[in-house]
């Protein structure tokens, strides 16, 4: 059975006229009639009563009509879905990057890529889960922070990567009643307990833990709040819950207004690379074109 036979049949159901339907289907009337007869042979029953005008459906035709409509609908919808999937580039990224980096980055890519359909997901629980989704083909690319420790993102044979930019993490805290930092880490007494806020993925992906261990090993950072988003962490710091290292891009305005203050000098800022990862075995023509365009763009920047 061919889809065009069903479309011919549904056209005749609508018009009741062989000549009109054959014109709509861009086929000669004899060819149109032959295709309908072939469909009836395939079904094994007469579907159309040709004895009068307009042509009417037989009892078998009435039964078959909704089936034909459903088949045509499913076939066309599947074609649309498959086309959309091929054209859509599917990203996953950490929630902070989804909010503060991805929109501007994609906008910059407009002149380099033809695809305008994107999907951005940030609901995975850990970086390991993001990478698992990448490997299993649920997503095409993962945009995250580079992992200098190499504890997770160390399989360079499996995952190709490209640096997209750099973010700076800074230590922030709310002001005290005198407008001074509630905590100033460089002068904190050894052994002091510092209330500390962090995102779920901080200890692995962002090198904050390594920085704390190296720079402030004499202080006790006591976790008091954790969230999947740096924006939520920032709001809690503003409310006076403690110290956090957050992306500079998020807190620029809060620093200007005085809602937040630095908890440590600029020497304690932590630069982190923003990197895009792909799993090459899952590459498709659309994602390969995107990757090549991305390589071209990054090369032109150098």
Angle at 127 between CA 126 and CA 128, to 5 degrees: 90
What pLDDT is stored for residue 229 in this prediction?
A: 80
What pLDDT is stored for residue 202 in this prediction?
A: 44
pLDDT in tens, 264-299: 999 999 998 898 999 888 888 778 888 888 888 777
Kind plus residue range of the DSSP H or E element containing 291: helix 285-301
What pLDDT is stored for residue 119 in this prediction?
A: 85
Crossing angle for the helix pair 3-15 and 59-87, to the nearest 10 degrees: 120
| φ, ψ at 194 (rounded to 5°) | -115, 115
Nearest to 68 by CA among 19, 15, 9, 12: 9
Kind plus residue range of the DSSP H or E element containing 8: helix 3-15
What pLDDT is stored for residue 235 in this prediction?
A: 95
Residue-wise DSSP of 21-86:
HHHHTTS-HHHHHHHHHHHHHHHTS--EE-SSSS-EE-HHHHHHHHHHHHHHHHHHHHHHHHHHHH
pLDDT in tens, 243-271: 999 999 889 999 999 999 999 999 999 99
Residues in the chain where the model's pLDDT stays below 70: 80-87, 112-116, 147-157, 200-206, 301-302
Residue-wise DSSP of 138-188:
S-SEEEEE--TT-SSS--TTTEEEEEEEEEEEEEEE-B-TTSSBS--GGGS
pLDDT in tens, 35-64: 999 999 999 999 999 988 899 999 998 999
What pLDDT is stored for residue 147 in this prediction?
A: 66
What pLDDT is stored for residue 222 in this prediction?
A: 93
Structural domains of the chain, with CATH: 3-87 (1.10.10.10), 90-302 (3.40.190.290)
What pLDDT is stored for residue 205 in this prediction?
A: 47
Residues 199 and 226: beta-carbon distance below 8 Å = yes
Question: CA neighbours within 13 Å on the CB side: how many for 278?
Answer: 20
Nearest to 234 by CA among 219, 221, 249, 220: 249
């Amino acid at each position: 059975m061919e889809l065009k036979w069903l479309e011919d049949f549904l056209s005749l159901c609508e018009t009741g006229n062989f000549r009109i339907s054959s014109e709509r289907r861009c086929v000669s009337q004899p060819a149109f009639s032959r295709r309908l007869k072939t469909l009836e042979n395939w079904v094994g029953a007469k579907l159309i009563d040709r004895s009068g005008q307009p042509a009417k459906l037989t009892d078998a035709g009435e039964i078959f009509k909704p089936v034909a409509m459903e088949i045509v609908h499913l076939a066309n919808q599947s074609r649309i879905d498959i086309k959309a999937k091929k054209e859509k580039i599917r990203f996953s990224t950490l929630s902070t990057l989804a909010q503060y980096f991805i929109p501007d980055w994609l906008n910059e890519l407009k002149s380099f890529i033809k695809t305008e359909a994107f999907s951005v997901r940030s609901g995975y629980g850990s970086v390991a889960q993001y990478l698992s989704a990448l490997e299993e083909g649920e997503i095409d690319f993962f945009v995250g922070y580079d992992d200098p420790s190499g504890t997770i993102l160390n399989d360079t044979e499996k995952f190709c990567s490209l640096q997209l930019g750099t973010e700076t993490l800074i230590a922030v805290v709310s002001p005290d009643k005198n407008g001074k930092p509630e905590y100033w880490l460089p002068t904190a007494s050894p052994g002091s307990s510092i209330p500390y806020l962090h995102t779920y993925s901080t200890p692995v992906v962002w090198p904050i833990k390594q920085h704390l261990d190296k720079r402030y090993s004499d202080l006790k950072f006591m976790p008091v709040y954790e969230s999947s988003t740096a924006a939520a962490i920032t709001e809690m710091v503003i409310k006076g819950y403690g110290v956090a290292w957050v992306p500079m891009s998020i807190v620029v305005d809060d620093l200007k207004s005085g809602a937040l203050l630095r908890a440590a000098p600029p020497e304690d800022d932590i630069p982190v690379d923003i990197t895009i990862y792909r799993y090459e075995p899952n590459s498709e023509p659309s994602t390969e074109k995107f990757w090549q365009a991305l390589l071209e763009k990054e090369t032109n920047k150098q």
